[in-house]
Amino acid sequence: MFRGWIPFYLLSRYYNFGMFDLCCTVRNCSHPLIQSKDGLSCAAGHHFDQAKAGYWNLTQPQDKKSSNPGDNREAVIARHRWLERGHGVGLIAALKSWLPDDGPKTRILDLGCGDGSFGRSLFSDQAANFCGIDLSKPAIKLAAKHWPEATWVLANADRGLPVMDASVNCVLSLFGRRPVSEISRVLSPKGCCVVAVPGEDDLIELRERVQKEGRRRSRVEAIVEEMEGHGLSCSDQKQWRTQIEIGSDEIADALAMTYRAGRRSEKSLVASIDVAKVTLAGDLIKFRRRQD
Ligand SMILES: C[S@@+](CC[C@H](N)C(=O)[O-])C[C@H]1O[C@@H](n2cnc3c(N)ncnc32)[C@H](O)[C@@H]1O
Ligand SMILES: [Zn+2]
């Protein structure tokens, strides 16, 4: 008789609950990965174990030398706390009413998924069709802990996405990576890609204090142009914007997850910031494959 709970990741080692189809990340391989109780293997004999925490480590030796190793633990925990406080709720509602509803077979790939909060909130009933990718171990560990039924992959999204051509119905890039040629490769013919980037006055009150003059810069035009270059046209666009009351703990988290404190100690920086309200803003852009 089993007593108490058996962690999902232990069960999933012995029973195939169905997971997102992945492909091999060994250079020039790309064969599909097949799951067995020993892990994931491809036809060329490459093998990947599942980490105890439940995610798949598909990084390759060259990823360890990456100049951008993903968010560090401090930034990941700060963003996790920030979202746990409910500061993503409005954005989640905006995205929910806007994401395509293509039915239960929709395959969703979240690039730079962070702690997985957005995916979990948006697609909680579609675990078998959801995959989050991040290069930060602390981030992917948190994601797997909070939503073990989904597929979580530690991989470098900038080097190549571990999924087959035209196999994804919805690619998400929420304040995360945008490897445009890879997004175009993996997107199904009728698929869509949803990008969220900070709006021009996102956290402007904090940036004005930290950077002296907070620069307002919209990223939308450049992103649309870049995606167009890879056959992806903007099909819809909207802005999300709100203001929240903020205390010193939240200011510290906002700085840790975005605008770095630089050389000044974070404590003294936080103490010098006397704002009580900040703006949260995001530009949301939807792309579809151009039908030439
Ligand atoms: C600003 S966070 C956004 C996280 C999440 N999408 C959210 O909105 O909460 C950016 C994420 O991209 C990840 N990242 C950075 N470089 C990456 C890469 N080359 N491949 C995959 N993920 C990467 C970071 O580790 C971090 O979790
Ligand atoms: Zn292989």
Query: Residues 98-136: pLDDT tens digits?
Result: 887 766 568 999 999 999 999 999 999 999 999 999 999
For residue 44, which ligand has an atom nearest its CA? 2
DSSP designation for 285: E
* Ligand 1 atom closest to residue 157's alpha carbon, by position in its atom list: 20
- Rounded mean pLDDT of 50-78? 89
- Residue 99: what pLDDT? 87
Site to probe by mutation for ligand 1, drawn from 113, 219, 283 as the one with most ligand atoms within 8 Å of Cβ, is 113
Residue nearest to atom 27 of ligand 1 (CA): 114
**Gyration radius of the chain's alpha carbons:** 20
Decide which of 27 and 263 is more confident.
27
Write out pLDDT tens, residues 2-59.
444 444 334 443 444 468 989 999 999 999 999 988 899 999 999 999 999 999 999 9
Write out pLDDT tens, residues 227-241.
999 999 999 999 999
- The residues pairing with 131 across neighbouring beta strands, listed in sequence order, are 109, 151
Rounded distance from Cα 39 to ligand 2 centre (Å): 13
Write out pLDDT tens, residues 131-174.
999 999 999 999 999 999 999 999 999 989 999 999 999 999 99
* One-character DSSP codes across 186-253: HEEEEEEEEEEEE-TTTTHHHHHHHSSS------HHHHHHHHHTTTEEEEEEEEEEEEEE--HHHHHH
Ranges of beta strands (E only) in the chain are: 34-36, 39-41, 47-48, 56-57, 108-111, 130-134, 151-154, 168-174, 187-198, 232-245, 277-289
At position 52, the amino acid (one-letter code) is K
Rounded distance from Cα 2 to ligand 1 centre (Å): 38
Residue nearest to atom 25 of ligand 1 (CA): 70
Mean pLDDT estimate for the chain: 87
Euclidean distance between CA atoms 2 and 262, whole angstroms: 51
- Residue 248: what pLDDT? 84
Using an 8 Å Cβ cutoff, are 276 and 246 in contact? yes
Write out pLDDT tens, residues 211-224.
766 678 889 999 99
CA-based torsion, 114, 119, 121, 124: positive or negative: negative
- Residue 30: what pLDDT? 95
Confidence of residue 283 (pLDDT cuts 50, 70, 90): very high
Residue 195 pLDDT exceeds 90 = yes
- Residue 218: what pLDDT? 86
For residue 143, which ligand has an atom nearest its CA? 1
- Residue 1: what pLDDT? 37
Rounded distance from Cα 13 to ligand 2 centre (Å): 20
* Ligand 1 atom closest to residue 70's alpha carbon, by position in its atom list: 25
Confidence of residue 86 (pLDDT cuts 50, 70, 90): very high
For residue 42, which ligand has an atom nearest its CA? 2
Rounded distance from Cα 68 to ligand 2 centre (Å): 25
For residue 66, which ligand has an atom nearest its CA? 1
**Phi, psi of 123, rounded to the nearest 5 degrees:** -130, 35
Using alpha carbons, select from 155, 157, 235 the residue that is nearest to residue 190.
Answer: 235
Using an 8 Å Cβ cutoff, are 163 and 131 in contact? yes
Site to probe by mutation for ligand 1, drawn from 123, 134, 253, 257 as the one with most ligand atoms within 8 Å of Cβ, is 134
Q: Is 101 strand, coil or helix?
A: coil
- Residue 103: what pLDDT? 62
Euclidean distance between CA atoms 172 and 286, whole angstroms: 10
- Residue 265: what pLDDT? 61
Q: Collect contacts of 32-35 with beta carbons under 8 A, ≥24 apart.
A: 32/164, 33/162
Rounded distance from Cα 38 to ligand 2 centre (Å): 16
Decide which of 193 and 2 is more confident.
193
**Count of helix runs (H) and strand runs (E) in the chain:** 11, 11
Using an 8 Å Cβ cutoff, are 116 and 147 in contact? yes
Q: Spell out the domains of the chain, with CATH numbers in brackets.
A: 61-289 (3.40.50.150)
Q: Which residues lie with the beta carbon below 6 Å from any ligand 1 atom?
A: 68, 70-71, 79, 112-114, 117-118, 133-136, 139, 156-158, 174-177
